[in-house]
């Protein structure tokens, strides 16, 4: 069966044409209606919707800044905090949508923020289409709120459109300069610089939030907010009260010796670290000069400092007002960098005799000595081609190892080192941390690997001078961390500042526990070292007697180091000690770098600071007195209590005199202490004890040579026959960063 084609063409064309005409007319009607509606909206509500669209553009993607975490001391005192401030933003297009808004807005900006209206006029004229311009930065809430209240006024509020506020945080330090070197500071873009701020920058920083705006179906602006995540808080071991005590006495030292012998500060640097012996927690770390964390670029703090070159090395000159006024920006910045640097961890120097306990500990632990040996001191020892001198140029005669520590005899220590041998000496030096970073949680710790000898480079003369702290460089933090292991049974703790990290709402993220890195010596060796170091303070010939605070027996070791170039009369003096003597709880290390005096070679510049600090710190830490107070000590403590109570720090000290009316040094009274054993019969080497006192310098003066001697230790502090004092160390900070050559060794003839 076949089917024929049916013809639908005429019928399809007629139907479709009708439908297309109807559809076309309907579309035209719709477009006509929409056009009419748009015209009515534009005519009646155009300005309103224009403002809403502009507002959406302003807030379409706004950053919500995070709050940087706080830094809090061990007592809960806030040392660093971020407070909210406000940037004043101008939207020229919105403000100038009505020209009559300009004058009221300018007047409000002038009144609330002190903004120069002429500058704003000029900017508006030059940038009529600008939608973002910062008129003022970091305004306090009170000023921002005053402006916001004006916007609510029915008469003036409408004219203030186009001015809005952007949130920001400003880093502030409530205690000014306290712990400035430990805390560090932040740049304008919230990045940590120096100290904890830099080391823990990632911990303290949070994450910015975002605010998104859009128009809803009713043409109203709605926002979706992703909140910022604030940074974490640092809870540190440092005790603000102990830190304040330390700073007080460092500043007092500066005031006493400022411009004393030369123009400049009381010393090039004065540093102090107090550390818990059995944990490595740093309770205080301070230096002078310091700076205000809220005003880090205040150049007044630079006056009196050593002037540095473009490499940061000291030039031998000092910053004066005239020098400061002549500095260009580059020179000013490198000088500020020297100020901001933490002397306690970043500067290297030759430690001097504070390293003698390390030498003895190594020899005892290695079995090279028993500690009962005696060595004859004739005032020097010939090593290689050098005559290396002792500070007691007359010689001390036969001395035990203990007496060698007590009297700080170089000859005894050199003989101890020779018995140990150079290979084991180098091994133990590294074990004690010399040449290695301690990895303390602070930015800027110096590397000292190139400033110590190794087994291939150390020679006999180097071994001799290394034995008493000469010919190698170290940092304060290296020395005190290693020293704690000598007196706590041999446990080397990693020094640390931060105890705990918490979230912004107080939840603990991490507890940082004490960390033992290694065992340096045995308990028996540690006990012997403490026994020897105790005599430095308690012994008749101890070089550190003036470090003992009233009511306490402490131990420790003094140090004196001659700086480069040799025979320049400039020294780094120090004392490293612990308290109490029988059960060390804290260690203290004070370094005075080139005191501003004619005769710098005197460890008492450091020991007197230690005494004053410990006199207040030990009772504060509830460490009970170990010694009965003498009447004189009671008077000193009562006077100290009075000074502490006085707001200005107080009354002048009463000058005590002897029977002949001569003033008595309260830190170092002549004669023996009440109840002390009678002194032994003087040796021939103690001839200096008969020298008369020089009224100008206060030292004993040899009538034959004119040389000066310390009245307590007999150490020669002036004269061509001696290049140094107590130990006469090699100078600090070699310019090339390497260990000086053997030909540069001091204490030779």
Better pLDDT: 597 or 61: 597
What is the per-residue pLDDT for 415? 96
Closest CA to 382 of 36, 684, 745, 635: 745
CATH entry 1.25.40.850 includes domain 346-495+516-661+725-744: no
Does pLDDT of 22 surpass 90?
no
Asked whether 281 and 499 are in contact (CB, 8 A), the reply is: yes
What 3-state DSSP class applies to 13? helix
Cα–Cα distances in Å, from 73 out to 79, 215, 265? 7, 48, 29
- φ/ψ of 513, rounded to 5, equals -90, 155
Do 37 and 44 meet the contact criterion of CB atoms below 8 Å apart? no
pLDDT of residue 695 exceeding 90, the answer is no
Token pair recorded at residue 544: 């550190």
CATH no. of 82-174: 3.90.1310.10
d(CA 154, CA 60): 27
Residue 568 has a pLDDT of 84
Helix (H, G, I), strand (E, B) or coil at 275: strand
Four-point Cα dihedral 360, 362, 364, 366, nearest 10:
-150
Average pLDDT, whole number, for the chain? 83
Specify the 3-state DSSP secondary structure of 268.
strand
**Half-sphere exposure of 732 toward its Cβ, with a 13 Å CA cutoff?**
25
Best CA proximity match to 129, nearest among 102, 158, 163, 96: 96
Q: What is the pLDDT of residues 191-210, one digit of tens each?
A: 999 999 999 999 999 999 98
**What pLDDT was estimated at residue 139?**
82
Collapsing DSSP to helix, strand or coil, 109 comes out as helix
Classify 172 as helix, strand or coil. Answer: strand
Q: Which of 310-319, 389-398, 568-577 has the lowest mean pLDDT?
A: 389-398
Higher-pLDDT residue of 419, 672: 419
* Cα–Cα dist 179/238, whole Å: 9
| pLDDT bucket at 45, cuts 50 / 70 / 90 | low
Task: Judge whether residue 691 has pLDDT over 70.
Answer: no
153, pLDDT greater than 80 = no
Which of 708 and 232 is assigned the larger pLDDT? 232
pLDDT > 70? residue 705: no
Q: What mean pLDDT comes out for the span 78-105? A: 83
Average pLDDT over residues 545-566: 91
For residues 220-239, give the mean pLDDT.
88
From 15-29, 43-57, 77-91, 296-310, the region with the lowest mean pLDDT: 43-57
Looking at the predicted structure, is the pLDDT value of residue 155 above 50? yes
Task: State the pLDDT confidence band at 138, using cuts at 50, 70 and 90.
Answer: confident
Out of 370-374, 577-581, 648-652, 699-703, least confident range = 648-652
Nearest by Cα to 419 from 368, 359, 358 = 368
Q: Looking at 2-11, 250-259, 401-410, which range is the least confident one?
A: 2-11
Q: What is the C-alpha separation between 464 and 85, in angstroms, rounded?
A: 61
| Distance from C-alpha of 173 to C-alpha of 540, rounded to nearest angstrom | 47
Residue 675 has pLDDT above 50, yes or no: no
The pLDDT assigned to 356 comes to 97
**Per-residue pLDDT tens over the stretch 53-74:** 555 444 456 788 899 999 999 9
Give the mean pLDDT of 620-629.
93
Candidates 298, 345, 380, 364; CA nearest to 194 is 345
716 falls in which pLDDT band (50, 70, 90)? low
Tell me the C-alpha distance between 524 and 489, whole Å: 8
Reported as a pLDDT band with limits 50, 70 and 90, residue 347 is: very high
**pLDDT tens digits for range 480-530:** 999 999 999 999 999 999 999 999 999 999 999 999 999 999 999 999 999
Q: With 60 as the cut, is the pLDDT of residue 704 above it?
A: no
pTM (2 d.p.): 0.81
The predicted-structure confidence for 166-176, as pLDDT tens digits, reads as follows 888 999 999 99
Predicted confidence at residue 51, as pLDDT, reads: 55
Place 731 in a pLDDT band, splitting at 50, 70 and 90: very low
pLDDT at 507: 95
Among 279-288, 542-551, 553-562, 566-575, whose mean pLDDT is lowest?
566-575
For CA atoms 485, 488, 493, 496, the dihedral sign is: negative
Q: How far apart are the first and last CA of the chain?
A: 138
Under the banding of pLDDT at 50, 70 and 90, the label for residue 36 is confident
pLDDT band at 622 (very low <50, low <70, confident <90, very high): very high
Q: Would you state the pLDDT for residue 408?
A: 94
Instruction: Look at residue 9 and tell me whether its pLDDT is greater than 70.
Output: no
Considering only CA atoms, which of 722, 287, 244, 639 is closest in space to residue 475? 287
pLDDT at 91 over 70: yes
What pLDDT does residue 50 have? 59
Residues in the chain: 749
Are residues 541 and 403 in contact, defined by beta-carbon separation less than 8 angstroms?
Answer: yes
Nearest to 383 by CA among 460, 455, 468: 460
73, 238 contact by CB (below 8 A)? yes
pLDDT computed for residue 312 by the predictor: 87
Closest to 381 (Cα-Cα) out of 349, 362, 403, 404: 404
Asked whether residue 728 carries a pLDDT value surpassing 70, the answer given is: no
Summarize the confidence of residues 455-461 as an average pLDDT. 94
How much is the average pLDDT of 438-442? 97
Q: What are the angstrom distances between the C-alpha of 506 and each of 233, 497, 513? A: 8, 19, 19
Domain boundaries, the chain: 82-174, 291-341, 346-495+516-661+725-744
Is residue 671 over pLDDT 50?
A: no
- Split at pLDDT 50, 70, 90, the class of 718 is low
Give the pLDDT of residue 713. Answer: 65
Residue whose tokens read 């509606």: 37
């Amino acid at each position: 069966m076949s089917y024929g084609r049916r013809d639908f063409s005429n019928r399809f064309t007629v139907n479709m044409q009708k439908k297309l005409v109807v559809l076309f007319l309907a579309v035209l009607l719709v477009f006509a209606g929409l056009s009419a509606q748009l015209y009515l909206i534009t005519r009646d509500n155009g300005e309103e919707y224009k403002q809403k669209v502009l507002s959406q553009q302003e807030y379409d993607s706004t950053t919500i800044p995070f709050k940087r975490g706080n830094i809090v001391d061990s007592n809960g005192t806030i040392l660093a905090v971020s407070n909210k401030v406000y940037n004043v933003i101008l939207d020229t297009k919105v403000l100038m949508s009505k020209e009559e808004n300009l004058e009221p807005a300018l007047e409000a900006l002038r009144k609330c923020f002190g903004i120069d209206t002429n500058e704003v006029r000029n900017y508006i004229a030059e940038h009529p289409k600008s939608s973002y311009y910062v008129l003022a930065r970091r305004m306090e809430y009170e000023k921002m709120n005053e402006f916001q209240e004006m916007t609510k006024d029915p008469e003036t509020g409408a004219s203030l459109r186009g001015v809005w506020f952007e949130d920001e945080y400003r880093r502030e330090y409530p205690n000014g300069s306290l712990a400035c070197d430990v805390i560090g500071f932040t740049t304008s873009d919230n990045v940590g610089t120096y100290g904890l701020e830099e080391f823990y920058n990632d911990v303290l920083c949070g994450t910015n939030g975002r605010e998104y705006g859009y128009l809803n179906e009713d043409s109203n602006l709605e926002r979706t907010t992703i909140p910022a995540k604030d940074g974490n808080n640092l809870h540190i071991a440092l005790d603000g009260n102990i830190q304040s005590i330390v700073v007080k006495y460092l500043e007092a030292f500066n005031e006493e010796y400022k411009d004393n012998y030369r123009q400049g500060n009381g010393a090039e640097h004065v540093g102090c670290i107090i550390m818990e012996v059995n944990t490595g927690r740093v309770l205080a770390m301070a230096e002078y000069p310091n700076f205000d964390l809220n005003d880090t670029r205040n150049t007044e703090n630079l006056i009196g400092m050593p002037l540095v070159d473009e490499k940061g090395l000291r030039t031998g000159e000092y910053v004066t007002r005239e020098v400061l006024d002549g500095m260009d920006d580059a020179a000013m910045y490198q000088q500020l960098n020297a100020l901001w640097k933490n002397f306690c961890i970043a500067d290297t120097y030759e430690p001097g005799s504070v390293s003698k306990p390390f030498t003895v500990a190594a020899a005892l632990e290695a079995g090279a000595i028993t500690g009962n040996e005696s060595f004859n001191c004739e005032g020097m020892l010939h090593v290689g081609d050098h005559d290396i001198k002792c500070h007691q140029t007359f010689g001390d005669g036969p001395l035990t190892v203990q007496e060698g520590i007590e009297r700080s005899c170089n000859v005894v220590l050199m003989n101890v080192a020779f018995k140990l041998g150079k290979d084991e000496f180098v091994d133990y030096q590294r074990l004690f941390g010399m040449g290695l970073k301690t990895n303390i949680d602070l930015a800027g710790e110096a590397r000292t690997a190139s400033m110590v000898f190794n087994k291939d480079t150390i020679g006999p003369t180097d071994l001799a001078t290394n034995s008493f702290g000469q010919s190698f460089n170290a940092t304060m933090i290296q020395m005190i961390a290693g020293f704690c292991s000598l007196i706590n049974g041999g446990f080397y703790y990693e020094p640390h500042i931060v105890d705990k990290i918490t979230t912004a709402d107080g939840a603990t993220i991490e507890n940082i526990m004490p960390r033992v890195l290694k065992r340096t010596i045995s308990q028996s060796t540690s006990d012997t070292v403490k026994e020897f170091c105790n005599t430095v303070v308690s012994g008749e010939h101890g070089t550190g007697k003036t470090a003992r605070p009233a009511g306490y027996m402490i131990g420790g070791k003094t140090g004196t180091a001659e700086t480069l170039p040799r025979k320049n009369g400039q020294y780094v003096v120090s004392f490293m000690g612990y308290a109490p003597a029988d059960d060390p709880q804290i260690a203290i290390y004070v370094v005075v770098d080139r005191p501003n005096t004619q005769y710098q070679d005197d460890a008492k510049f450091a020991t007197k600071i230690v005494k004053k600090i410990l006199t207040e710190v030990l009772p504060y830490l509830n460490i009970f007195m170990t010694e009965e107070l003498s009447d004189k000590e009671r008077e000193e403590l009562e006077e100290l209590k009075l000074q502490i109570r006085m707001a200005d720090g107080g009354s002048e000290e009463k000058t005590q005199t002897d029977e002949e009316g001569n003033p008595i040094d309260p830190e170092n009274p002549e004669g023996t202490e009440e109840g002390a054993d009678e002194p032994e019969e003087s040796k021939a080497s103690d001839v200096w004890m008969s020298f008369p006192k020089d009224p100008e310098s206060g030292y004993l003066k040899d009538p034959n040579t004119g040389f000066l001697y310390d009245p307590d230790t007999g150490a020669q502090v002036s004269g061509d026959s001696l290049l140094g004092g107590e130990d006469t160390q090699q100078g600090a900070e070699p310019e090339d960063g390497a260990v000086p050559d053997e030909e540069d060794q001091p204490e030779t003839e």
